[in-house]
């Protein structure tokens, strides 16, 4: 029997772990936070106390809630403190062996009805939970950074994951003010895949060398993707991009992803790792600039507009593919994409301004030139 979730632990103090912990702190949970060192324990304890004092001062919590939060707080380096938890969320680095090690230890510590979740965005769940015997309680619980601005949370299931427990996680996500997107095994990390498809296309556009990477990034940030695309690569880290693309290398995506995959491997080999390193794909291209031939384009503004339409058409087609496969409903995936990319309008609203026929024509044009399967039009219309 799985309990109502009251005791939650977060493992990892990186930006995702911290973001998740501080979001949950605003609710009435008994919280534990596991970090690496005793110095971390001291720093985090001080930070949490300051955060709670600020919340009390701003009257977002009562004195009783403040006192209960401190009373029920546990910050430690020891997994053994988690033996009574209802839910554990692992948020450490994207390293399969390290994640397996943690869940192997937890299996011998926690109760049989403790739900085990990983926030991974790129590693197959069956690998993360490979050595867990009770896999029905194992899930991906993928929050997106920054949590403050992105409402969607992917609840990723394996074939062994229990649907009833998925419902408990859905209720939890709703109770903390977020919107759950439940995804079966074949659809795991679907939003990350959509992002990677768009990133791959903009990188392929960059390889045409009509526009520089920074100019492309600035254009798409001001016209459609306020968070950027290449900036997200730098933020998440090159290794995650490589792992993600490796997971998606099916016949539909292989040719489309290969140029970006090869560049990402090159970046890793040259220590342009993104993330905390501060040097990623944008810095590499600036330092190893090849040069662009603007003279090949008669009207650069029209060229940019056409690129934007191409990316919108590709996004629309990928949505159509997802819906055709039965991986998500039209309304759910439409909302999630708008939320993830910070779009001012939903993709279906944008697409309706062009019309299904014009989008199909653009996709066919791109497919005839590139021969990439992702451009082959899906034969359904999402626009009423």
Q: What is the pLDDT of residue 278?
A: 78
Considering Cα of 373, then 259, then 232, then 12, what sign does the dihedral take? positive
In a domain, 48, yes or no: yes
pLDDT digits (tens, 9 = 90+) for 192-228: 999 999 999 999 999 998 888 989 999 999 998 898 8
Domain boundary among 139, 155, 187: 187
In a domain, 226, yes or no: yes
Q: Are 115 and 168 in contact (CB under 8 A)?
A: yes
In a domain, 381, yes or no: no
Domain boundary among 169, 187, 205: 187
Q: Is the pTM of this model over 0.75?
A: yes
CATH number for the domain spanning 83: value is 3.40.50.720
Q: Which residue has the tokens 């501060």?
A: 278
For 181, the 3-state DSSP assignment is strand
Domain containing 64 equals 7-187
For 237, the 3-state DSSP assignment is coil
CATH number for the domain spanning 258: value is 1.10.1040.50
Q: Are residues 354 and 245 in the same domain?
A: yes
Q: What is the pLDDT of residue 220?
A: 94
Q: Are 107 and 131 in contact (CB under 8 A)?
A: yes
In a domain, 176, yes or no: yes
Distance between CA 222 and CA 63 in Å, rounded? 44
For 344, the 3-state DSSP assignment is coil
CA distances for 243 relative to 2, 10, 247, angstroms: 33, 23, 6
Task: Tally Cβ neighbours within 10 Å of residue 93.
Answer: 14
Q: Are residues 82 and 117 in the same domain?
A: yes
Q: What is the pLDDT of residue 66?
A: 92
In a domain, 206, yes or no: yes
Pairing of strands 74-76, 138-143: unpaired
Strand partners, 152: 179
Q: State how far Cα 169 lies from the chain centre.
A: 18
Number of domains in the chain: 2
Q: Are residues 272 and 361 in the same domain?
A: yes
Q: Are residues 176 and 200 in the same domain?
A: no
Q: Residue 191: in which H helix or E strand, if any?
A: helix 190-207
Residues in the chain, pLDDT under 50: none
In a domain, 273, yes or no: yes
In a domain, 222, yes or no: yes
Distance between CA 92 and CA 342 in Å, rounded? 26
Q: Considering only CA atoms, which of 202, 193, 210, 209 is closest in space to residue 228?
A: 202
For 31, the 3-state DSSP assignment is strand
Q: Are residues 143 and 196 in the same domain?
A: no
Domain boundary among 154, 170, 187: 187
Q: What is the pLDDT of residue 291?
A: 72
Q: What is the pLDDT of residue 32?
A: 98
In a domain, 83, yes or no: yes
Q: What is the pLDDT of residue 295?
A: 63
């Amino acid at each position: 029997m799985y309990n109502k979730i009251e005791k939650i632990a977060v493992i990892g103090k990186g930006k995702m772990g911290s973001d998740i912990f501080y979001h949950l702190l605003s609710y009435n949970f008994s919280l534990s936070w596991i970090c690496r060192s005793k110095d971390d324990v001291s720093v985090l304890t001080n930070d949490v106390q300051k955060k709670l004092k600020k919340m009390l001062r701003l009257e977002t919590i009562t004195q009783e809630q403040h006192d209960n939060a401190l009373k029920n707080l546990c910050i430690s380096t020891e997994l053994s403190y988690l033996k009574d938890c209802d839910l554990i969320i692992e948020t450490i680095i994207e390293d399969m062996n390290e994640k397996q090690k943690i869940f192997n230890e937890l299996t011998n510590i926690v109760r049989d009805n403790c739900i085990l979740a990983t926030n991974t965005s790129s590693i197959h769940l069956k690998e993360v939970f490979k050595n867990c015997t009770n896999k029905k309680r194992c899930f991906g619980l993928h929050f997106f950074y920054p949590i403050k601005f992105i409402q969607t949370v992917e609840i990723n299931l394996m074939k062994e994951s229990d649907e009833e427990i998925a419902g408990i996680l859905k209720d939890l996500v709703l109770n903390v003010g977020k919107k759950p997107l439940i995804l079966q095994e074949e659809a795991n990390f679907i939003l990350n895949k959509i992002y990677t498809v768009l990133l791959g296309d903009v990188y392929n556009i960059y390889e045409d060398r009509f526009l520089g990477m920074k100019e492309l990034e600035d254009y798409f940030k001001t016209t459609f993707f306020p968070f950027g695309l290449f900036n997200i690569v730098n933020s998440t880290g090159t290794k995650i991009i490589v792992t993600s693309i490796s997971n998606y290398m099916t016949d539909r995506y292989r040719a489309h992803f290969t140029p970006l995959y090869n560049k990402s491997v090159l970046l890793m080999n040259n220590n342009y790792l993104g993330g905390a390193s501060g040097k990623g794909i944008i810095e590499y291209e600036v330092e190893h600039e090849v040069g662009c031939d603007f003279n090949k384009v008669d009207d650069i503004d029209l060229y940019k507009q056409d690129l934007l339409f191409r990316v919108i058409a590709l996004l629309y087609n990928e949505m159509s593919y997802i819906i055709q496969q039965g991986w998500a409903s039209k309304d759910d995936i439409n909302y999630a994409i708008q939320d993830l990319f910070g779009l001012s309008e939903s993709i279906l609203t944008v697409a309706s301004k062009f019309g299904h026929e014009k989008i199909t024509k653009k996709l066919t044009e791109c497919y005839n030139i590139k021969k990439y399967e992702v451009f082959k039009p899906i034969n359904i219309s999402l626009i009423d």
